[in-house]
Structure 1
Amino acid sequence: MIDITYAPEVAAAKEKKQPIVALESTIITHGMPYPQNVETARRVEQTIRDGGAVPATMAVLDGVLHAGLTDAQLDKLGQAKNVAKLSRADFAACIATGGTGATTVAATMIAARLAGIEVFATGGIGGVHRGAEESFDISADLRELSETPVNVVAAGAKAILDLPKTLEVLETFGVPVIAFGQDDFPAFWSRSSGMAAPLRMDTAEDIAKAFRLRGAMGLPGGQLIANPVPQEFEISSESITPIITQALAEAEQQGVSGKGVTPFLLQRIFELTEGRSLETNIALVLNNAVVATKIAKALCN
């Protein structure tokens, strides 16, 4: 079994069988500038504590997988340069070569499974990129959801993606896509994508029960809980769509591809919305942490 270094509060929570919520670290290294990245990470962690659970931010530091980071480690990671962006394909290689890497959705799910954590709060999952019928650019997050038994709470898939194709792939992979408290599938900055979600649940208890039943039935994989951004922080699809279209065109003109696409688009959308997209991003991550905490507590009960 792989060695995992647990932060003291995570180790204590595991021993006492208290609810724990996993968090990714790419939002720190690739999602926001310093110091907002560290400030936001600490706010998200505190939101989980305030709700009655323990946060476990996942990262690989000098070849060691960490479940939970100390304040000093979090601050150091937030200022680090050339940190690897880890997914399923390069996670083990980073550990084997003594590297430092931040975990994406897929890698955080793997790390959570290894650490025995069943709930993970993030911003938005990756998915099928626009033009994937030619580029075959499809996030590893989707297959991970079909294989790794973790509840992922996100504000849907990132709106820069091809959302209809993303939902189609999730259906093909047999991933439960559960809209929390509404019928529409949310689109990250916007509360609605204009598409109905395959499933709707209104309580953390129902989500926890469905997860336990999947395990009892021998069904692999996790659940995607699509939690809409709070209404007061929403950027409507009418407002954000032309901005996304412009950012996508610029990425194509500049030859941005692969893992560089999402960070480029998020940065460009931040600039074009004059910072509003980042405010919404922070609000939805905090909101997802609240819901993830409720699910973690329901699973413990």
Structure 2
Amino acid sequence: MKQYIDFSKEVKQAKAENKPIVALESTIISHGMPYPQNVEMATKVENIIRKNGAIPATIALIDGKIKIGLEKEELELLANSDNVAKVSRRDFTEVLATKRVGATTVASTMMCADLAAIQFFVTGGIGGVHRGVESTMDISADLEELGKTNVTVICAGAKSILDLPKTMEYLETQGVPVIGYKTDELPAFFTRESGIKLNSSSENPEDIARICKVKNDLDIEGGVVIANPVPKEDELSKSYIDSIIEEAVKEAEALGISGKDSTPFLLGKIVEKSDGKSLHTNIKLVENNAILGAKIAVAFNQM
């Protein structure tokens, strides 16, 4: 395993000193935002995690290595390179073997975090069941990964472009707990509202950490989703964002865009149609998730 995993200096030291560590994905850097906003966002999120008592570990595949934590020049390479592969479980070994630069999705970041014994992972939103699944069978690998990999994912719910009721149904079938943080409703990424009630909610990071500890003690397989709504001051109204998403989905269908290309296309169209408002919300919700993820990791570490 040592020949494939490469820890940054900071993460290696955190491991040696038994400090809390929070994993971060890299697809949001390479495929989610333009340069240089992506570097600014990634650097700020890492600093937020440090400020709240944990160590950030941004994950990517570079030169045949699983990078657990990125040095400054590696972050720049990822943010500013053309043809960065979007890596899920399916592409994982191929990108490593061919030594390409690869950005990790939720599914592959979970894989890497698990290999590196990092339990907590902050992202924007998870993937899920796509609209029109009845004819496309387009279901994100994130959901399958959550069913089998022991990583707790702190997110603002599933991306609004998805079929949220079917996504929740799939997670329930996989036995994945979805715990709302200070909410009993599934947040829908850009907005706090989805109309979908959750079975579980928690009011503080310590309770969430305790749930994760009991799950580990009992050796129960699979992940946990912590659904953390975007701050009220940064959310977009449900009717506004829903109308924009409908337009973007129709454009994607007309152009025949599907599979792993659909999410970056749709998110890009939403940024365009919202005059950049959705990008602002996206950044703010990731920052908000980083605060909560660090607090949960610190509480868990103290246990």
Pick the TM interval, shorter chain: over 0.9
Alignment of 1:64-83 (within 5 A): 64-83=65-84
Give 1:228 shift. Answer: 0.1
In the alignment, which residue of structure 2 is the partner of 1:32? Answer: 33
Q: Distance in 1 between matches of 2:117 and 2:172?
A: 26
Structure 2 spans left out of the alignment, 5+ residues = none
Cα contact 1:208–1:298 (8 A) shared by 2 = yes
* Residue 267 of structure 1 pairs with residue 268 of structure 2: yes
In the alignment, which residue of structure 1 is the partner of 2:258? Answer: 257
Counterpart code for 1:62? D
Cα contact 1:211–1:222 (8 A) shared by 2 = no
* Residue 190 of structure 1 pairs with residue 191 of structure 2: yes
How big is each residue's C-alpha offset from its partner over 1:162-217, in whole Å with a ceiling of 9 and x where there is no partner?
A: 00000000000000000001111100000111111121011111111111111222
* Residue 45 of structure 1 pairs with residue 31 of structure 2: no
In the alignment, which residue of structure 2 is the partner of 1:241? Answer: 242
Q: Distance in 1 between matches of 2:39 and 2:156?
A: 21
Give 1:218 shift. Answer: 2.6
Q: Distance in 1 between matches of 2:265 and 2:199?
A: 30
Cα contact 1:20–1:119 (8 A) shared by 2 = yes
Alignment of 1:108-127 (within 5 A): 108-127=109-128
Instruction: Judge which range, 61-70 or 153-162, deviates more.
Output: 61-70
Q: Distance in 2 between matches of 1:181 and 1:193?
A: 15
Structure 1 spans left out of the alignment, 5+ residues = none
Counterpart code for 1:225? I
Q: Distance in 2 between matches of 1:166 and 1:198?
A: 15
Q: Distance in 1 between matches of 2:232 and 2:202?
A: 19
Alignment of 1:109-188 (within 5 A): 109-188=110-189
Q: Percent identity?
A: 54
Q: Distance in 2 between matches of 1:44 and 1:218?
A: 31
Give 1:93 shift. Answer: 1.6
Aligned to 1:31, the other structure's residue is in SS state coil
Give 1:81 shift. Answer: 0.7
Runs of 4+ deviating beyond 3 Å: none
Q: Give the TM-score normalised by structure 1.
A: 0.99
In the alignment, which residue of structure 2 is the partner of 1:4? Answer: 5
How big is each residue's C-alpha offset from its partner over 1:96-139, in whole Å with a ceiling of 9 and x where there is no partner?
A: 22121000000000100111111000000000000111110000
Give 1:243 shift. Answer: 0.5
Q: Distance in 1 between matches of 2:281 and 2:115?
A: 31
Counterpart code for 2:33? M
Q: Give the TM-score normalised by structure 2.
A: 0.98
Q: Distance in 2 between matches of 1:152 and 1:235?
A: 23
Alignment coverage as a number of residue pairs = 301
Aligned to 2:147, the other structure's residue is in SS state helix
